[in-house]
Amino acid sequence: MTSRTNEFFGLTKNGDIDAANIPLKRISYTDPFLAEGYRIHETIVNLLVFLKKIRGAYLKDRTFSNVQRLSKPLMECSLEELSKLELDEVQRDEIEHEVSSAISSCIHQIAKLQEIVKEQQSQIPKKSGWLQGLRDPSKLSKKETLVAHHSSVLWYLQSELSDVSSVLYHLQDLRLKRGQEKRNIASDFLTKNPTDENSAVEIPESELQTFFTQQQLQELEQENDVLLQEFEHTMERLRDTGKSLADITRLQSEISAQLSIQSSAAEKLYDDALNVMDSLSGGNQQLIKAKSRSSRTARLLFCIFTVMGLLLLSLDRIV
Amino acid sequence: MSIASVKTPSSLREAQIQSLEKLLNLNQDVNELESSPQHASNFPIWKVLIFDKAGSETISSVLRISDLRKHGVTVHMNITSFRQPIADVPAIYFVQPTQENIELIIEDLSKGLYESAYVCFSSTISRALLEQFAELASKTNTSHMIHQVYDQYLNYVVLESDFFSLQLPKIFHTFHNPSSDEALINSRVQDIVNGLFSVIVTLGTIPIIRCPQGSAAEMVAQKLNQRLKDHLMNTKDAFVSVNPKPRPILILLDRTVDLIPMINHSWTYQALIHDTLNMQLNRITVESVDDGKMTKRFYDLDGNDFFWESNASKPFPKVAENIDEELTRYKNDASEITRKSGVSSLEEVNVDAFADSTYLKSAVSLLPELTARKQILDMHMNIATALLKAIQERHLDDFFQLEDNITGLNRSAILACINNKEQGTPEDKLRFFIIWYLSVDSVPASDLQAYEEALVNNGCTLEALNFVKRVREITKMTMLASSTTRPATGQTGDNLFRGFSSLSTRFTDRFKEAGIGGLENIISGVRNLIPFRKDGTITSIVQSLMDPGSSPASKQTESYLLLDPKSARAITVNNDPRAMNKRQTFSEAIVCVLGGGNYLEYGNLADWAREQNPKKRIIYGSTDILSPSEFMEEMASLS
């Protein structure tokens, strides 16, 4: 392709327009729907950028955090800053929670826009009934165009949202998998250890007193409790992660369901519009036919009346 | 003109899609926009697309509505239709550079239908028209609303990965009609040059041009050569000079070089569809009668259709087998999911019901893929059903079998075919006869009269034959010198007429399961023909030009003109030994037939290219893609 823009502006009367400096994007919008659409879009883009930037830190195998060292909130940090970041498990959970609640709020906002489109759609009169002929076709078409336009905007937002949600899902999935692998390695190690060390001999409970003092036993019990608690805590977190994964998948399926509904609705609208165009052109052809037919009839009638008139005249003369 | 892109497209279709995506993103680099959301936020996302008929044909053959939406196009409309204003959005105009279109754009802007306009002309806008456009914009004070004016070089349609059409109808008629005046021929030649120039720009390399001497192809070649030279001189940048890709050869041919492929009864899936069903710009229309009511079904074919991609050029019985295999594979995959999830059918799968996230994950990722696969297979089953009906109604297998061994037929066999009332339409009979007439050396006058009488008695009109009689000598000269027949590898004559029996039982079972019944009778009448691959005249010519010396047609193509737009010499003299190397081998060719092309020829060339070692790449195109019926009509109009 070749740009002819500068050549074009050179030929216009106000040839001093600088093609490179034309503001491409508006700052304010007269259509509130579009303004809201752009706002949601920006939120989604920010989320996507954030997820891309935090990916490294999120998947790093660390258990201590240096979040407090950051100068700005997480979302506003640069890639360099976030690449040095280290997170613990709780903070990872927090990030997940934050992003998924942002996604939920976007879904909520999109749903509101959807309501608006539905309302606009309900205002479009059905294409049947004898009153149809009396309606102003240009007005009808304006509403339809607007609904199609807004539906596409919604489709775009939902598709973007679905992308962000799948990015989050993949991150979580990866984290879960890595966690699982780590646990597998640890458990392998633990189960292998006793067999490797043949010296480990099980001591019957009755003889414990002879091997350990009371204090040592108490300490061991406490340690055991702590270990058990830790294990339970890990299990709980595992369940939570599973649950949030399920949540995300549900969100995703919801979004994709919405997407398919939306796209089928928009495609239906487009087909309707095409049908209208077809029937319009059919109608035009009919009109042209009707016109030619009526002109033919008029000519025929004219001829008949002329002949009859002449006949009458001649009869009048004869009589 | 900048051709540089991050990812090198592997086919013409991919290259065109890349160009179109750039157009839809206000001529910004799509990769850059995707990788940098901050950069992307400087541009409006949502826009309206306005195109003319040619623009819509170009876009609709490679992009779907969802692709347009993905690039932020909310609504797309025809420039001539009555349109309503849409606030706050820019409009992309993808139109031909015509006076009418620029007036319509200015009218839209004066009415304030859209916020701004990005004008993308499908081919180069002339300086005079651009001046007029600027003047109109100044007069109406709308020039500030026009943000971009671009020449896009996209005035052609891509139907398959390397198959294009310039969408210029009636070229064959114009070039062979004695009443066509010079001005008309020149303007059509200019149109062809414009289209081919666009294809070359999209591909991004300057080819070496070869064409037969003293033909319409030569006129096109000379003008195209000059156009490319001018362009290289005027734009010092890009194009090819820095492109390390090996240069392709552009072979320009007249349709009269070989008429047979245009009217042949072919047996490959895509050629059969094009012949028997209504197929326009990758949209197939199947008409069926349900409860006495005529219903039309539309099926769109695209690059994402895995079945079409792998089966389009295969013989129909093989395709039927493959549908069967794919259906079995689908059923197995579906039952695998249902078995794991414990529900009895795919429709009952409910993602919420899963407690285990691994099943959930596999189901979520597999379900859309399976549904899409089922939709594609359903579509192909419906198409195959319609094809089977057409094959049986017209006895196309008989015609195919006869044409496969056309030179071996005697007078009685030909008359028997023509006089068989149950076999084929009058047009099928005429097509068969013309193929025979073009394939044999001489026909005694008395025999010809008998054949003509038989044809007329069977309802044929002889206009097309009369035209063929006129061009027979020219066509025969090129055909005889080059046509070769050789069996395809791995196929023996035994399976040529193998019955459909073993296949039909499995095939019908699948169709019954899928709810398509009543096929047993249809299939039982159709033979399982696996054709020998024949290299047509055009394939032989291409072979001799890409690999000089390897084909018996080499002697004939030796005399072809050779033009190099990069060379300083104006025109290479044919016999000049110092001229460019005619013995050069090429790995890539662009073949353009002036006057009509079809899927059969594309399939033949693609098969040949695939069989070469190392593989060759052939981009095939024509001024227009014509079904056999359309081409017969065009020939008849020249009688």
Segment B32-72, tens digit of pLDDT: 887 777 777 778 889 999 999 999 999 998 998 889 999 99
Instruction: Please indicate, yes or no, if residue A57 is contained in any of the structural domains.
Output: yes
Collapsing DSSP to helix, strand or coil, B8 comes out as coil
**Cross-chain CB nearest to A249 (options B27, B84, B364):** B364
End-to-end alpha carbon distance in chain A: 86
**Which portions of chain A are predicted below pLDDT 70?**
14-27, 61-84, 126-140, 190-209, 246, 248-278, 281
- Assembly ipTM: 0.79
- pLDDT in the model for residue B23: 94
Q: Which residues contact A1 (CB under 8 A, 6 or more apart)?
A: B1, B2, B19, B22, B23, B27, B120, B150, B151, B152, B153, B201
B511 in the same domain as B381: yes
pLDDT at A241: 73
Domain-located, residue B315: yes
- For residue B44, give the chain A residue with the closest CA: A25
Find chain A residues with C-beta within 8 A of B86's C-beta: 145-146, 149
In a domain, B491, yes or no: no
Same domain, yes or no: B48 and B125: yes
Is B485 a domain residue? Answer: no
What letter does residue A206 receive in the DSSP assignment?
A: G
User: Is B519:B388 a contact under the CB 8 Å cutoff?
Assistant: yes
- B240 and B332 housed in the same domain: no
Q: How far apart are CA B328 and CA B322, in angstroms?
A: 10
| Nearest-by-Cβ selection for A11 from B70, B131, B235 | B131
Q: What is the pLDDT of residues B577-611, one digit of tens each?
A: 445 566 788 999 999 999 999 999 999 999 999 98
- State whether B230 and B302 are in the same domain: no
Rounded-to-integer distance, Cα A61 and Cα A141, Å:
58
- Two tokens, residue B472: 């027979």
Helix axes B426-439, B628-636, angle to 10 degrees: 80
Best B41, B49, B88, B362 member to test A by mutation, with max A CBs in 10 Å, is B88
Do residues B101 and B95 touch, judged by C-beta distance below 8 A?
A: yes
Query: Are residues A3 and B41, on separate chains, in Cβ contact within 8 Å?
Result: no
Q: Are residues B64 and B123 in the same domain?
A: yes
Inter-chain CB proximity B82 and A249 less than 8 Å = no
Residues of B within 8 A of A263 (CB-CB) are: 65-66, 69
Q: What angle do CA B401, B404, B407 make, to 5 degrees?
A: 120
CATH code of the domain covering residue B318 = 3.90.830.10
Same domain, B554 and B516: no
- The residue from B100, B133, B154 where one domain ends is B154
Query: Within this chain, do residues B189 and B123 fall inside the same structural domain, yes or no?
Result: no
Q: Domain containing B57 — which CATH number? A: 3.40.50.2060
Which residue in the set A45, A145, A159 is minimally distant from B75, CB to CB?
A145
Q: Which residues of B touch A256 (CB under 8 A)?
A: 368
CA distance B588 to chain A (A): 23
A29:B66 CB<8 A: no
Strands B116-121 and B90-95: parallel
Query: Which one of A21, A24, A25, A146 makes the best mutation probe of the B interface by having the most chain B beta carbons within 10 Å?
Result: A24
- Using CA atoms, how far apart are residues B374 and B380, in angstroms rounded to an integer? 10
**A262 in Cβ contact with A118 (< 8 Å):** no
Total number of domains constituting chain B: 4
Q: Residue B490 falls within a domain, yes or no?
A: no
Q: What pLDDT, on a 0 to 100 scale, did the predictor assign at position B215?
A: 84
Question: Are B254 and B284 in the same domain?
Answer: no
- CATH code assigned at A258: 1.20.58
CATH number, position B598: 3.40.50.1910
User: Which residues of chain B have a CB within 8 Å of the CB of A45?
Assistant: 37, 40-41
Angle between helices B357-394 and A214-318 (to 10 degrees): 30
Decide if A128 is inside a domain: yes
**B246 class by beta-carbon count within 10 Å (0-12 exposed, 13-18 middle, 19+ buried):** exposed
Cis omega (within 30 of 0) for bond into B248: no
| Whether B149 contacts B119, CB under 8 Å | yes
Query: Among partner residues B38, B131, B150, which is closest to A1 by beta-carbon distance?
Result: B150
- 8 A C-beta contact, residue B287 and residue B294: yes
Q: CA-CA distance, B29 to B25, in Å (whole number)? A: 8
- Per the domain annotation, does B493 fall within a domain? no
**Angle, CA B614 vertex, CA B611 and CA B618 arms, to 5°:** 65
Which chain A residue lies closest to B49 (C-alpha atoms)? A149
Instruction: Please answer whether residues B249 and B545 qualify as being in contact, where contact means their C-beta atoms are separated by less than 8 angstroms.
Output: yes
Q: State which residues of chain B have pLDDT below 50.
A: 1-6, 238, 240-242, 352-355, 480-506, 515-522, 570-575, 577-578
Write down which residue in B107, B137, B154 finishes a domain: B154
A184 domain residue, yes or no: yes
User: How far is Cα B246 from Cα B12, in angstroms, rounded to an integer?
Assistant: 16
Same domain for B552 and B616, yes or no, is yes
Give the number of domains in chain A: 1
Report the percent of chain B where pLDDT is more than 70.
Answer: 81
- Asked if the structure places residue A97 within a domain, the reply is yes
pLDDT at B196: 96
pLDDT for the residue numbered B28: 87
Measured between beta carbons, the chain B residues lying within 8 angstroms of A259 are: none
Q: Answer whether A96's CB lies under 8 Å from A168's CB.
A: yes
Q: Which residues of chain B lie closer than 8 angstroms to A267, CB-CB? A: 65
Which domain, by its residues, includes B464?
397-480
A211 within domain boundaries = no
Note the pLDDT of residue B512. Answer: 52
Give the list of residues 6+ apart from residue A42 with CB closer than 8 angstroms, or none: B41
Specify whether the CB–CB gap between A174 and A241 falls below 8 A: no
Q: Do B364 and A253 touch (CB under 8 A)?
A: yes
Determine the pLDDT at residue B515.
46
pLDDT, residue B225, reads 94
DSSP class per residue in B351-363: GGG--SHHHHHHH
- Same domain, yes or no: B279 and B387: yes
Beta strand residue intervals within B489-603, DSSP E: 534-535, 561-563, 588-594
Among the partner-chain residues B130, B146, B368, the one whose CB lies closest to the CB of A7 is B130
Query: Using a CB-CB distance cutoff of 8 angstroms, which residues of chain B are in contact with residue A270?
Result: 65
Q: Are residues B90 and B188 in the same domain?
A: no
**Chain pair A-B, CB pairs under 8 angstroms:** 155
**Cβ atoms of B614 and B623 closer than 8 Å:** no
Looking at the DSSP bridge assignments, the partners of residue B592 are B252, B621
* Residue B94 C-alpha, separation from nearest chain A C-alpha, in angstroms: 13
Q: Do B216 and B314 reside in the same domain of the chain?
A: no
Query: How near does any CA of chain A get to the CA of B1, in Å?
Result: 5
Expressed as residue numbers, the domain containing A165 is 28-189+228-274
Does A307 fall in a domain? Answer: no
Who contacts A147 (Cβ-Cβ below 8 Å, separation ≥6)? A117, A120, A121, A124, A269
Residue B494 falls within a domain, yes or no? no
CA-based nearest residue to B418, from B405, B401, B431: B431
Would strands B278-280 and B283-290 be described as parallel, antiparallel, or unpaired?
A: antiparallel
Specify the pTM. Answer: 0.79
Test mutation, A7, A9, A12, A14, chain B, max B CBs within 10 A: A12
